[in-house]
Amino acid sequence: MKCARYYNNRDIRLEEIPVPKIGADELLVQMHACGICGSDVLEWYRLKKAPIVLGHEMTGKIVEAGKNVETFKVGDRVFVSHHVPCNTCRYCLNGHHTVCDTLRKTNFDPGGFAEFIGVPGINVDRGVFLLPDEVSYEEGTFIEPLACVLRGQKTAHLRPGQTVFIIGGGIAGLLHLKLARASGASSVVVTDINKNRLVFAERFGAKAAILAGNNIPEHLKGVNNGRLADMVIVAAGVTEAIHMAWETVDRGGTVLIFAPTQPDIDIAMPLYDIWHDGITITTCYAGSPSDISEAMELIRSKNIIVKDMITHRFPLARAGEGFALVEKAQDSIKVIIEP
C-alpha cells in the first residue's frame, strides 16, 4: 500500500509499505480522509520521531475484522482515535484521561496518511466510533480536533454570556470560535497576524477580528463595551500570544493556554497582577473518548458546521503540498489528505 512518510516539513515521501496484518481483536480500516493537524508540522515535536507516517484525524471504512471483534463489521464507516486511555489508573478515575500513561503510548499502525491502518485491540475497544450517516468522511476529520477544543472549553468552564478573546485564528482558534458561539458566549473576538484568517473569523461569526499589532487591549475594549475578556484562549504557540493573554483578560477571568510552546521555553508572568485580579490559568491537552462522542454529536447535529472550514484537498501523492500549506499558515484553514 502507499503511505506519505514524514522526514521533515519539506520532505514528505510517497512510499510503498506492507498492508498491516491484523489479529483476532483488531481491525483493518481503509483511509478515506485524514486531516493535517497543526501539530504535524511542529518540527521540534516531530523530527525526533522521523521518519514516521503521521496522521491522527482519520476516517475510513472497515475492510477486515478479526474473529473476536463483535462490535464492528466490514463496511462500517468509522472514526478511529489514535490515543486511548486505560480508564482504570488514578488519572482516568479522576477525570484526567488525557494524561494517562496508556493514552500517551497507544496508536494505530502506521498512521492516517496511509491507504490502510491496523487498529489494535485496545483502540477497537474504546477508540473506534461509528460515523453517523449525516457525517461525511471529510467532516469526520474534525472530530478529533473539535474534541480537543471541547475539552479545553470545559476545563476552562466557559459559561453562556461570557466574552471570549481568541489569540490565533488558525484551525484551533476558529473551532474555539464556533464552539464558544454555540455554547452561548455573548461575543467572541479573534486576533491573528494573518489577514486571511481574520476574514474567516468574521465569516464564522466573530464580533470583531483584530489584526495583531500594537495596543491590542485597547482595540479589544473598543469592540467589547470598554471591557477586557472574561476568557482568553491562547491558540497560537508563541510566547507573544501568552504575554498578550495577561494583558487582555478581565478581572476574575480565565486564561486557557491551548497551544504549547517548545518545551525549553519558560514564560514570565505578572504573578502579583494575576493573584490580585483573581485570574485563573488553565491548560488542556488532547481529548478523551467522551469528548470525542460529544464532538461527533455536535457535528452530526450541525450545531457546529465544519465543512466550510476545508480549504484544500490533496491525494496521498501530493501530501507534501498539504504540509507546506499548513506550515506556511497563510492561505489554508483545513487541509485534508484523501487516498
What per-residue confidence (pLDDT) applies to 205?
98
Q: Residue 114 domain-assigned?
A: yes
CA-based nearest residue to 87, from 290, 231, 250: 290
Q: Residue 151 domain-assigned?
A: no
Q: Are residue 209 and residue 276 in the same domain, yes or no?
A: yes
Question: Is residue 127 a contact partner of residue 100, using CB atoms and an 8 Å limit?
Answer: no
Cell of 44: 521540534
What per-residue confidence (pLDDT) applies to 117?
98
What does each C-alpha distance from 135 to 148, 151, 300 come to in angstroms?
A: 19, 21, 6
Q: How many CB atoms lie within 10 A of CB 13?
A: 12
Q: Are residue 215 and residue 307 in the same domain, yes or no?
A: no
Q: Are residue 93 and residue 181 in the same domain, yes or no?
A: no
What per-residue confidence (pLDDT) applies to 213?
87
**Last residue of one domain, picked from the residues 283, 304, 328:** 283
Q: What is the mean pLDDT of the chain?
A: 97
Which residues sit opposite 65 in a β-bridge?
27
> H or E segment at 166?
strand 163-167
- CATH number assigned to the domain comprising residue 211: 3.40.50.720
Q: Are residue 140 and residue 9 in the same domain, yes or no?
A: yes
Q: Are residue 176 and residue 130 in the same domain, yes or no?
A: no
What sign has the CA pseudo-torsion 192, 198, 200, 202? positive
Question: Number of folded domains in the chain?
Answer: 2
Tens-digit pLDDT profile for residues 141-154: 999 999 999 999 99
CA 204 to chain centroid: 17
Q: How many CB atoms lie within 10 A of CB 31?
A: 25
Q: Are residue 165 and residue 215 in the same domain, yes or no?
A: yes
Q: How far apart are CA 176 and CA 259, in angstroms?
A: 12
Q: Are residue 123 and residue 194 in the same domain, yes or no?
A: no
Tens-digit pLDDT profile for residues 301-334: 999 999 999 999 999 999 999 999 999 999 999 9
Question: Is residue 259 a contact partner of residue 169, using CB atoms and an 8 Å limit?
Answer: no
Q: What percent of the chain has pLDDT over 90?
A: 99
Domain boundaries, position 306: 2-146+287-338
DSSP H helices in the chain? 43-46, 90-93, 101-105, 121-126, 137-140, 143-155, 171-182, 195-203, 216-223, 239-248, 271-276, 289-300, 319-328
Q: Is the pTM of this model over 0.95?
A: yes
Q: Are residue 6 and residue 133 in the same domain, yes or no?
A: yes
Cell of 94: 479522576
Q: Residue 152 domain-assigned?
A: no
CA-based nearest residue to 230, from 154, 166, 151: 166
Q: Are residue 32 and residue 84 in the same domain, yes or no?
A: yes
Q: Residue 242 pLDDT more than 90?
A: yes
Q: How far apart are CA 139 and CA 143, in angstroms?
A: 8
Q: Residue 111 domain-assigned?
A: yes
**Last residue of one domain, picked from the residues 267, 283, 299:** 283
Q: Report, as an integer, the average pLDDT of 24-37.
A: 98
Tens-digit pLDDT profile for residues 2-19: 999 999 999 999 999 999
Q: Are residue 116 and residue 265 in the same domain, yes or no?
A: no
- CATH number assigned to the domain comprising residue 71: 3.90.180.10
Q: Residue 240 domain-assigned?
A: yes
Q: What percent of the chain has pLDDT over 70?
A: 100
Count Cβ atoms within 10 A of the Cβ of residue 192 and give its class: 0-12 exposed, 13-18 middle, 19 or more buried: buried
Q: Are residue 115 and residue 195 in the same domain, yes or no?
A: no
Q: Residue 130 domain-assigned?
A: yes
Q: Residue 58 domain-assigned?
A: yes
Tens-digit pLDDT profile for residues 253-279: 999 999 999 999 999 999 999 999 999
What per-residue confidence (pLDDT) applies to 214?
79
Tens-digit pLDDT profile for residues 164-202: 999 999 999 999 999 999 999 999 999 999 999 999 999
Q: Are residue 91 and residue 197 in the same domain, yes or no?
A: no
